[in-house]
């Protein structure tokens, strides 16, 4: 069994991140009530972190360099878990990872189009 294409991992990580931000935003705006289901946001966070680590690991086993663009997202992903979700800093920290997810996905797609695996 061969490993997944790097672009697939970056797409999965970015999608999980976007879903997590979307859910967090919906809760903050009181469009969704997750008081009885807080674990969903936590599960998305763990999934996002795991997928981001998997995508970044492509630096070790593929020719892709997109992982370099995702590595800085590790800092806000670690810090956000230490910042109260009720504080104003929580969404700021969470959103500070967005440029790294977007940039790494764009790079991975570009590499795939040029035959880098």
Confidence of residue 106 (pLDDT cuts 50, 70, 90): very high
Specify the 3-state DSSP secondary structure of 36.
helix
Please state, in angstroms and rounded to a whole number, the distance separating the CA atoms of residues 7 and 19: 18
Percent of the chain with pLDDT over 70: 100
Say if residues 65 and 107 touch (Cβ distance below 8 Å): yes
In this prediction the pTM is 0.95
115: left (phi over 0), alpha (psi -120 to 50) or beta: left
List, for residues 36-60, the tens digit of each pLDDT value: 998 999 999 999 999 999 999 999 9
User: Quick one: which of 57, 74, 36, 38 has its CA closest to 108?
Assistant: 57
85 vs 74, more confident: 74
List, for residues 89-102, the tens digit of each pLDDT value: 999 999 999 999 99
């Amino acid at each position: 069994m061969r490993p997944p294409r790097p672009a697939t991992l970056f797409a999965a990580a970015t999608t999980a991140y976007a879903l997590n931000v979307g859910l967090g935003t919906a809760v903050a705006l009181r469009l969704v009530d997750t008081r009885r289901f807080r674990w969903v946001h936590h599960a998305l966070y763990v999934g996002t972190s795991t997928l981001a680590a998997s995508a970044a690991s492509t630096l070790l086993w593929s020719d892709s360099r997109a992982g370099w663009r995702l590595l800085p997202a590790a800092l806000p992903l670690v810090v956000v878990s230490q910042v109260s979700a009720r504080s104003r800093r929580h969404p700021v920290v969470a959103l500070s990872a967005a440029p790294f997810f977007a940039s790494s996905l764009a790079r991975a797609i570009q590499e795939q189009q040029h035959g880098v695996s």
